[in-house]
Amino acid sequence: MLTMQELTKTYRTELVQTHALSNFNLQVEEGDFVAVTGPSGSGKTTFLNIAGLLETFDQGTYNLDGENVRGLSDKARSRLRNEKIGFIFQSFNLIPDLDLFDNVDVPLRYRGFNSAERKRRIERCLELVGLANRMKHLPSQLSGGQQQRVAIARALAGEPRFLLADEPTGNLDSKMAHSVMELLKDINDRGTTIVMVTHDPLLAQQAKRNIYVKDGKVSELPSLTTAAIFTAQAVNAD
Amino acid sequence: MFSYYLRLAYLSIRRNPILSALMVAAIALGIGASMTTITVNYLMSANPIPHKSQQLFYVQVDSWDPNEPAEEPNEPPDQLTWTDATNLMAAQKAPRQAAMASSAAVVEPPDQDAKPFNAGIRLTFSDFFSMFDTPFLYGGPWDAQQDANKEQVVILSRETNDKVFGGENPVGRSLRIAGRQFTVVGVLADWQPVPRFYDVTTGAFHETEELFMPFLLKQALQLPNGGNTSCWKTPEEDSFEGFLRSECVNYQMWVELPDTQTKQDYLTFLTHYVNEQKALGRFPRPLNNRLSDVMQWMENQQVVADDAKVMLWLSLMFLTVCLLNTIGLLLAKFSGKSSEIGLRRAIGASRTALFYQHLVETACIGLAGGIAGLLLALLGLMGISSLYGEFADNLTSLDLNMVVFALLLSLVCSILAGLYPTWRACNIAPASQLKSQ
Amino acid sequence: MQAFSCLEIGPIFRALSRNKVSALLIALQIAVTLCIVVNAVHILLERRAQMARDSGIDEANSFYISSTGFAADFNQQVTIQTDLDAIRALPGVKDAMQINAIPISGGGWSMGLQTQPGTEFDGVGTAVYMVDEHVLQTLDLELIAGQPFQDTDIRWRQGTQRDWPAQTIVTKALAENLFPDAQYQDVVGKTVYINDDEPILIQGIVDKLQAPWVGWNRVENAMLSPEKTLFSTSTYIIRTEPGRLDELMPKVEQLLADSNKGRVVRGMRSMNETRERSYRRDQAMIKVLSTVMITLTLVTALGIVGLASFSVNRRRKQIGTRRALGASQGSILRYFMLENFIISSVGVLLGALLSLGLNVVLVESLGLTRLHWYLLPIGMLALCLVGLLAVLGPAKRAAAISPAMATRTV
């Protein structure tokens, strides 16, 4: 599904060069649910941006669903994002002016479906996240958990093979976080590949597979003790 | 997709009503101001007879003072002497030709109760009407024979006919003008060329005359001089005839020359004529004959007022300021939407798609500004019209061309103004805006 | 304050350089606005000055009316005498006379006068007024040298007559134009030539009388010719006692219409109206320019308000953080004012150059005069002030942002 080999990404400012990713290797199989954890500045977000084709990389190869994405035009990348990838963000990123229906509609518009097909998909996705009865509400009229559900519905509307989630529960309380997590697992069970970036080891444990990023590289899985320390910290933070 | 963009534009405008209103207002003011002055300039520089303006030529010959030209640098006088006007007419060297003069006389309506009034007269030849395609309501022009016989025939303007004959068909009826009996042969339908190109010597935007009658009646009835009379030499005798024979210019002449050959022939004829006159002791200046077509003549006579040009320049700069303003406001507006743009990019909108989306939004604002600007232009033209009074009567109407032009102008301006902000907005990296602050 | 400003300017410049385009747009707007305003004010002042010129006659209490005879038995000469006697006898009429052209009305007669006879000499252009011995009283002229016309000086001029009376009274301006080296008093008694070689004796000088054409560069040149005219149309100019014009205008019109049915009485107009008509274009230009200037300044000010508001809104959190870190309200206010002042300064400097450029174009293509130097600094100062005023509102709102904003998300 997703293969990254020897990926390197460097940010340059006038004074410093930061290696966000260096010799990054990762393989994600179809149907997998991968949680990516790591400390701040480890390159998690860069990885996610590159995986989601939001950013380009300097060296290495990246195959998405069998297609080498290196050197693709903006238009081709946009199309790939639209068709194969769904995004879920920590801060939901719903468009405040649009109601739920229209928010979920956004990726479908760019896909070019006809209006009947769009309507069918939007209704089905909102049904799936349990918000079918609030289609005409504006995002501001919903709770955070509901907003994230809308965002998930939006991500699913295009029936992507591959879902990228960036701290999907970061802005939610634990109860809502739990229900969102259940929803993601449910989606994964239906066959959608999910890669989730999080700093929360408890959340990560619910995924099928965990990887740990440090200094722009995939490290060995952290020892259980490390995980335990993370857990302890997370508990303390609450 | 277009209707989707329209809906997005609507939502976006609604989200920033003040900013959007400011932009619409700025474009409207700019368009309003420039359309007002563009309309005035457009009408001033309009081609009054587009279908044949290149076949009609104003005739000038240099009969002026040997010591100085009629106007620097070496311009021939802008009118003809009686001698030249009548000689050139008598020669009949053009397919159509009409010399003319302006005059005035008292008209005594047949109705005893109606008060006599002073009326402006255009003295001319029968070709005038066919050359200039004047529309007739009743009757038609007099003929060349009547010109030659100095018959007392008259053509009335529609207004004059309304005033004297209550708008009825007066053809064949008799009317007392300048103390003589005239026979009405025709009534013109509404006819007001803008500019009134056939005689611009006293101002280019006057009304057409109330009466038209054969040119040679000037001599027969000793009708007074209208317009401008300029002399470089005192008439040699104290009489009406003496004045007509003098070197004073007060007459205009147009010829219709359908192709370059006839034009060339006419120029040759003019040269021949002037040389003949030189032999008689007239035309002391070097040969300097001119044939100017309608638009050349309007240019030569500087029909577009300097004030109108100044206003045009200032209003175009005004429009520039309004556009700069719009660019700034659009930049502000679009940069406020950067997170939405980032999201749309992430979800799969290509740059092109976003570019169109924002262009549609700008165009909507531009169109709204254009429509508001048209209303302002109407207001501006009403203002100009009330400020200038009768000087601007024929110069302050918006025609369909101008309406379309105004809308196009506002559309083009707003899209131009929108290009840079849109381009900047679409270049937002999709990843940059998705993290919460 | 001074030290404080110096501390602040650095960061402001750096912030501006990150927002180059917005700042540049405002500066450009200010520049073009200044360019238009300065040139418009210049044109406006020039027109004002032109309109303020005195025609020399008692405009407030004068009017004129024309009569055109058409009846077969119409006797022009008798009619004129009868009319004038009747008008002068009306109570409230100060004086009246026949005249061939009306000052500042737009239509009249001009001739050239030369100090030596002969076709090879150039004449000085002048307006010609054909008047009788009532001229000084009717037109409210002051004879500052020489002798007035006597009734015996006045002749009748036929429609096509070419020769001129043997004497004239000229305006001081014309006298000085004819004899640039002489005192105007000494011009009395000199002979000038009309129609190349016809001598005319200058018998008097009047203080001031404008020609009919207000746009003419020799508008102060006028000569009075002692004659009444027998042209087809005869025009009378009437001067009333102060304040009686409105009452007398219809009376005179009625009088003329009733006294002789063989003519058309027309074209009655007060001098005030004539002035208004003659300067209508200038008046209109002044109003148009004023409107343009005001709206333009408003547009620019609104643009500044819009952009400043936007930049304040975008920086709400940053401003809150600054406040939380100890910035006073005053320093936030000063920050925005100073930022605007820097942009405005760049704008007006650019604008000053543009103004001079546009003026050069206007001078060369449309014959306007050069800009008065003092308009530039005044305009620059005024626009800077407008900029500061415009930014005051948003800056105040910025200053009012609560330091608590720093801890808020979004």
**pLDDT of C230-260, one tens digit each?**
988 899 999 999 999 999 999 999 999 999 8
Which residue of chain C has the CA closest to B384? C284
Split at pLDDT 50, 70, 90, the class of B63 is: very high
Split at pLDDT 50, 70, 90, the class of C74 is: confident
| Interface contact A72, partner B, CB < 8 A | no
Residue C409 has pLDDT above 60, yes or no: no
Restricting to C residues 304-323, those with a Cβ less than 8 Å away from any Cβ of B are 306-307, 310-311, 313-314, 317
Q: What pLDDT was estimated at residue C9?
A: 65
Inter-chain residue contact B350 with A75, CB threshold 8 Å:
yes
- The mean pLDDT value of chain C amounts to 88
For residue C321, give how far its alpha carbon lies from the nearest alpha carbon of chain B (Å).
14
Q: What is the mean pLDDT of residues A81-105?
A: 85
Q: What pLDDT was estimated at residue C6?
A: 46
Residue of B1, B340, B434 lying closest to A89 (CB–CB):
B434
Inter-chain residue contact B178 with C307, CB threshold 8 Å:
no
Residue C4 has pLDDT above 80, yes or no: no
| Interface contact A147, partner B, CB < 8 A | no
d(CA A145, CA B135): 79
Residue C140 has pLDDT above 80, yes or no: yes
Inter-chain residue contact B105 with C26, CB threshold 8 Å:
no
Q: How distant, in Å, are the alpha carbons of A140, A141, A169, A183, C258 from that of A178?
A: 22, 21, 8, 9, 108
Q: What pLDDT was estimated at residue C407?
A: 60
Which residue of chain B has the CA closest to C410? B437
Which residue of chain C has the CA closest to B36? C288
Residue of A90, A97, A112 lying closest to B15 (CB–CB):
A97
Inter-chain residue contact A109 with B431, CB threshold 8 Å:
no
Q: What pLDDT was estimated at residue C17?
A: 67
Which of A107-116, C159-168, C400-409 has the weakest average pLDDT?
Answer: C400-409
Q: What pLDDT was estimated at residue B166?
A: 92
Q: What is the mean pLDDT of residues B367-385?
A: 89
d(CA A93, CA B436): 9
ipTM higher than 0.85?
no
Residue of C35, C68, C368 lying closest to B118 (CB–CB):
C68
pLDDT digits (tens, 9 = 90+) for B382-436: 888 888 776 676 777 777 888 888 888 888 888 888 888 888 888 877 766 665 4
Q: What pLDDT was estimated at residue C408?
A: 56
Total residues belonging to chain A = 238
Q: What pLDDT was estimated at residue C321?
A: 76
Per the listing, tokens 């005053």 go with C330
Q: Which of B211, B317, B333, B435 to mutate to test the interface with C (most CBs of C within 10 A)?
A: B317
HEC per residue, chain B:
CHHHHHHHHHHHHHHCHHHHHHHHHHHHHHHHHHHHHHHHHHHHCCCCCCCCCCCEEEEECCCCCCCCCCECCCECCCCEEHHHHHHHHHHCCCCEEEEEEEEEEEEECCCCCCCCEEEEEEEECCHHHHHCCCCEEEECCCCHHHHHCCCCEEEECHHHHHHHHCCCCCCCCEEEECCEEEEEEEEECCCCCCCCCCCCCCCCCCCCCCEEEECCHHHHHCCCCCCCCECCCCCCCCCHHHHHHCCCEEEEEEEECCCHHHHHHHHHHHHHHHHHHHHCCCCCCCCCCEEEEHHHHHHHCCCCCHHHHHHHHHHHHHHHHHHHHHHHHHHHHHHHCHHHHHHHHHHCCCHHHHHHHHHHHHHHHHHHHHHHHHHHHHHHHHHHHHHHHHHHHHHCCCCHHHHHHHHHHHHHHHHHHHHHHHHHHHCCCCCCCCCCC
d(CA B208, CA B211): 9
Q: What pLDDT was estimated at residue B418?
A: 86
Q: What pLDDT was estimated at residue A14?
A: 66
Q: Which chains pack against B, by 3+ Cβ pairs within 8 A? A: A, C
Split at pLDDT 50, 70, 90, the class of C42 is: very high
Name the token pair of C64: 């004129």
Split at pLDDT 50, 70, 90, the class of A234 is: very low
Q: Which residues of A touch B340 (CB under 8 A)?
A: 95
Split at pLDDT 50, 70, 90, the class of A11 is: confident
Split at pLDDT 50, 70, 90, the class of C22 is: confident
d(CA B319, CA B210): 42
Q: Which of A46, A53, A54 to mutate to test the interface with B (most CBs of B within 10 A)?
A: A54
Which of B371-375, B428-432, C135-139 has the weakest average pLDDT?
Answer: B428-432
Residue B100 has pLDDT above 90, yes or no: yes
| Interface contact A65, partner B, CB < 8 A | no
Nearest Cα residue to C341 out of C400, C390, C401, C397: C390
Residue B98 has pLDDT above 60, yes or no: yes
Name the token pair of A64: 């998405």
Residue C108 has pLDDT above 70, yes or no: yes
Residue B321 has pLDDT above 80, yes or no: yes
Q: Which of B18, B218, B307 to mutate to test the interface with C (most CBs of C within 10 A)?
A: B307
Q: Which residues of A touch B344 (CB under 8 A)?
A: 106, 110
Q: Which chains pack against C, by 3+ Cβ pairs within 8 A? A: B
Residue C18 has pLDDT above 80, yes or no: no
Q: What pLDDT was estimated at residue C315?
A: 80
Inter-chain residue contact A78 with B344, CB threshold 8 Å:
no
| Interface contact A23, partner B, CB < 8 A | no
Inter-chain residue contact C306 with B19, CB threshold 8 Å:
yes
For residue B346, give how far its alpha carbon lies from the nearest alpha carbon of chain A (Å).
6
**More confident call, B55 vs C306:** B55
Residue C115 has pLDDT above 90, yes or no: yes
Which residue of chain B has the CA closest to C315? B336
Give the single-character DSSP code of C229: E
Hey, is C223 helix, strand or coil? strand
| Interface contact C215, partner B, CB < 8 A | no
Q: What pLDDT was estimated at residue B351?
A: 84
d(CA B385, CA B394): 9
Q: How distant, in Å, are the alpha carbons of A163, A193, C7 from that of A185?
A: 12, 10, 56
pLDDT digits (tens, 9 = 90+) for C303-352: 888 888 878 887 887 787 777 777 788 888 888 898 889 999 999 999 99
Restricting to C residues 325-354, those with a Cβ less than 8 Å away from any Cβ of B are none
| Interface contact C249, partner B, CB < 8 A | no
Split at pLDDT 50, 70, 90, the class of C104 is: very high
d(CA C84, CA C133): 12
Name the token pair of A173: 């309380």
DSSP C270-338: EHHHHHHHHTHHHHHHHHHHHHHHHHHHHHHHHHHHHHHHHHHHHTHHHHHHHHHTT--HHHHHHHHHH
| Third-level CATH fold of A2-237 | Rossmann fold (3.40.50)
Inter-chain residue contact B434 with A166, CB threshold 8 Å:
yes
Inter-chain residue contact B314 with C39, CB threshold 8 Å:
yes
Q: What pLDDT was estimated at residue C142?
A: 95
Residue C184 has pLDDT above 80, yes or no: yes
Inter-chain residue contact B348 with A78, CB threshold 8 Å:
yes
Total residues belonging to chain B = 437
Q: What is the mean pLDDT of residues B143-153?
A: 95
d(CA B190, CA B47): 18
Residue of A74, A85, A97 lying closest to B350 (CB–CB):
A74
DSSP chain A: -EEEEEEEEEEE-SS-EEEEEEEEEEEE-TT-EEEEE--TTSSHHHHHHHHTTSS--SEEEEEETTEE-TT--HHHHHHHHHHHEEEE-TT----TTS-HHHHHHHHHHHHT--HHHHHHHHHHHHHHTT-GGGTT--GGGS-HHHHHHHHHHHHHHT--SEEEEESTTTTS-HHHHHHHHHHHHHHHHTT-EEEEE-S-HHHHHTSSEEEEEETTEEEPPPPHHHHHHHHHHHHHH-
Inter-chain residue contact A158 with B348, CB threshold 8 Å:
yes
Q: What is the mean pLDDT of residues C148-167?
A: 91
Q: What is the mean pLDDT of residues C279-302?
A: 88
Nearest Cα residue to A103 out of A154, A141, A168: A154
For residue B1, give how far its alpha carbon lies from the nearest alpha carbon of chain C (Å).
30
pLDDT digits (tens, 9 = 90+) for B250-278: 999 999 999 999 999 999 999 999 999 99
Q: What is the mean pLDDT of residues C278-283?
A: 87
Nearest Cα residue to B391 out of C282, C45, C216: C282
Q: Which of B15, B347, B437 to mutate to test the interface with A (most CBs of A within 10 A)?
A: B347
Which residue of chain C has the CA closest to B307? C285
For residue B23, give how far its alpha carbon lies from the nearest alpha carbon of chain A (Å).
20
**More confident call, B294 vs A215:** B294
Q: What pLDDT was estimated at residue B266?
A: 96
Residue C5 has pLDDT above 60, yes or no: no
Name the token pair of C252: 């005179």
Inter-chain residue contact A75 with B4, CB threshold 8 Å:
no
Backbone angles phi, psi at C220, to 5 degrees: -85, -5
Q: What is the mean pLDDT of residues B147-167?
A: 95
d(CA B402, CA B417): 22
Domain ranges of chain A: 2-237
**Residue C201 CB contacts under 8 Å (≥ 6 apart), including other chains:** C166, C167, C168, C189, C190, C191
d(CA C111, CA C178): 13
pLDDT digits (tens, 9 = 90+) for A157-213: 888 889 999 888 888 888 888 888 898 999 999 889 999 988 888 888 888 888 888
| Interface contact B12, partner A, CB < 8 A | yes
d(CA C307, CA C318): 17
Backbone angles phi, psi at B378, to 5 degrees: -60, -45
**More confident call, C244 vs B334:** C244
State which amino acid sits at residue B267.
L
| Interface contact B427, partner A, CB < 8 A | no
Inter-chain residue contact B435 with A90, CB threshold 8 Å:
yes
Q: Which chains pack against A, by 3+ Cβ pairs within 8 A? A: B
Inter-chain residue contact C159 with B311, CB threshold 8 Å:
no
Which residue of chain B has the CA closest to A55? B431
Residue B6 has pLDDT above 80, yes or no: yes
Q: What is the mean pLDDT of residues A221-234?
A: 47
Q: What pLDDT was estimated at residue A233?
A: 45
| Interface contact C303, partner B, CB < 8 A | yes
